[in-house]
Amino acid sequence: MGRSHECDYPAEAQRLPVCTHAEIDSSRPSEEIDRQIKERVARGLSIYRLDGNQLRALRPDVLITQDQCGVCAVPQGELEKLLATFPKPGPRLLSLSPQRLPDIWANIQTVADTLGSPESGRVLLKQLKNRVADVILLTAPLKRRPKVLCLEWLEPLMAAGNWVPELVDLAGGTPVSAEAGKHSSWLTWEEIAAQAPEVIVVMPCGFDLARTTEEMGRWRRNPGWSGLQAVRDGRVALVDGSHFFNRPGPRLVESLEILLEIFHPRLGASDHAGRFWRLAERT
């Protein structure tokens, strides 16, 4: 019936009415976005604005949101406050808060159950888990697993946590600077250098591949960048974080296949390269 301002997949979703709006300018460089968010949070202001009139006009039966990350969606409390003003019975609110891959699989089934399509959920999960098993069969025998740093933000530096370390492990890498099931953590250049990552995957939250490439053009001039082993070896991959790594949904299986291509190109080969990820230009 409707969508958030960030919902853009599948393509037909973009034709639906927009029910939320951002109160920050997300077209700015990453350090500027970070500053805007911190300023609004310090002032007790929301990062997003709900369109209550639009929601009332749509009269949905179910509202699906998430409270896993307060920076990425309208807080559940604001939705609950709005729904309290709706005529009774109002929409059912389904709020998801996944931290790891098993949580995401469970959430998929929960959504299917809530929408009255439990069998559709089971079929989808079987398909997704079969694809994960295909990757595990390729990576389980590996004796050499590169140390991998995944960056979820560039200014300031942030490692990608939650489900990303699990994806790295399944794809045949060893995650550094992050722990599965824990929120993304801030980093310093000294900490990155001490970890000596052999592969770096740049996946800024909310950025597609073109935007990530643009951001890297400014960011890689940082003096701490050129001395890293992964940079010297040409093993820095830029990916479409917005569509594949930042969102806890079914496409994370495709994200796993992308990581397999990046870490072990002889094992994983598809048409993802160039469309959803590319190697960064050498400095």
Listed in sequence order, the residues at least 6 apart from 77 whose beta carbon sits closer than 8 Å to its beta carbon are none
Q: What is the mean pLDDT of residues 181-188?
A: 87
- Strand segments, DSSP code E, in 60-146 are 62-66, 92-96
The mean of the pLDDT values for the chain is 91
Q: Give me the amino acid identity at 51.
A: D
Q: Which CATH class is domain 120-279?
A: alpha beta
Q: Token pair for residue 213?
A: 């490439």
pLDDT for the residue numbered 125: 98
Ordered by start, the domain boundaries in the chain are 11-97, 120-279
Contact at 8 Å (CB) between 34 and 153? yes
Flag whether pLDDT at 145 surpasses 70. yes
Nearest to 97 by CA among 163, 7, 28: 163
Buried b (16+ CB within 10 A) or exposed e, 260-276: bbbbbeeebeeebbeeb
Flag whether pLDDT at 269 surpasses 70. no
pLDDT for the residue numbered 25: 85
